[in-house]
């Protein structure tokens, strides 16, 4: 399995059966897996989405967006409770071209990616239970 390091964004090969929580990056020696959202930008977005084999939930947000600010702690809390799933955030103010490429029309918008492909998306602030239910639906789609 290939996982992109949440610190230096180097691609790491994790042997089958190895616990990803214990895996260290071959480049920076830090933990490869983060149970918190990774901040993405134009310099690392596509590499992170395309080279990770784990599913990724990306929150497209902006600092001026009230619903984005309301949902941010919920998104972080769910990330901390999830295993085998990656969470990332992209500030649409700094990633305007990526947001345009992704067809982001309203924020917050969450996109569930798996192996570089979009599986599903949902717009609007979600409660924790709604976010977890949506993630479960997405996981069923890829299983």
Q: What is the pLDDT of residues 17-70, one digit of tens each?
A: 888 888 999 999 999 998 899 999 999 999 999 999 999 999 999 999 999 999
Looking at the fold, whether 95 and 75 belong to one and the same domain comes out as yes
Looking at the fold, whether 26 and 55 belong to one and the same domain comes out as no
Rg (CA), the chain: 14
Domain containing 127 equals 34-142
**β-bridge mates for residue 2, sequence order:** 13
Looking at the fold, whether 87 and 124 belong to one and the same domain comes out as yes
Estimate the crossing angle of helix 128-142 against helix 66-81, to 10 degrees.
Answer: 60
CATH of the domain at 64: 3.40.30.10
What does the mean pLDDT of the chain come to?
95
Among residues 13, 12, 32, the alpha carbon closest in space to that of 22 is found at 32
Looking at the fold, whether 72 and 135 belong to one and the same domain comes out as yes
Q: For residues 143 and 102, what is the distance between their CA atoms, to the nearest angstrom? A: 24
Looking at the fold, whether 21 and 65 belong to one and the same domain comes out as no
Non-local (6+) Cβ contacts of 100 within 8 A are none
Asked if 57 contacts 85 with a C-beta cutoff of 8 angstroms, the reply is yes
Return the higher-pLDDT residue of 83 and 64. 64
Kindly tell me if the per-residue pLDDT of 128 is higher than 90.
yes
Residue 61 dihedral angles phi and psi, to the nearest 5°? -145, 175
- pTM across the whole model: 0.95
pLDDT for 113 equals 98
- The SS3 of residue 24 is strand
pLDDT for 16 equals 85
pLDDT mean over 90-115: 97
Question: Which residues does the annotation mark as catalytic?
Answer: 65, 68
Q: Which residue has the tokens 């990526």?
A: 98
Looking at the fold, whether 48 and 118 belong to one and the same domain comes out as yes
**β-bridge mates for residue 11, sequence order:** 4
Rounded to a whole number, what is the distance in angstroms from the first to the last CA of the chain? Answer: 16
Using alpha carbons only, give the angle 56, 120, 4 rounded to the nearest 5 degrees: 15
- Are β-strands 38-40 and 86-91 bridged in parallel, bridged antiparallel, or unpaired? parallel
């Amino acid at each position: 399995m290939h996982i992109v390091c949440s610190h230096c964004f180097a691609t790491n090969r994790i042997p089958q059966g190895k616990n990803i929580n214990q895996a260290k990056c071959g480049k920076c020696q830090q933990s490869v897996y983060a149970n918190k959202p990774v901040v993405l930008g134009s310099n690392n977005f596509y590499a992170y989405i395309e080279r990770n084999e784990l599913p990724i939930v990306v929150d497209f947000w902006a600092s001026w967006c009230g619903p984005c600010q309301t949902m941010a702690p919920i998104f972080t809390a769910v990330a901390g409770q999830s295993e085998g799933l990656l969470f990332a955030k992209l500030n649409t103010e700094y990633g305007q071209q990526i947001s345009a490429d992704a067809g982001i029309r309203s924020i917050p918008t969450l996109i569930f990616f798996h192996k570089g492909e979009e599986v599903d998306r949902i717009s609007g602030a979600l409660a924790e239970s709604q976010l977890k239910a949506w993630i479960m639906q997405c996981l069923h789609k890829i299983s």
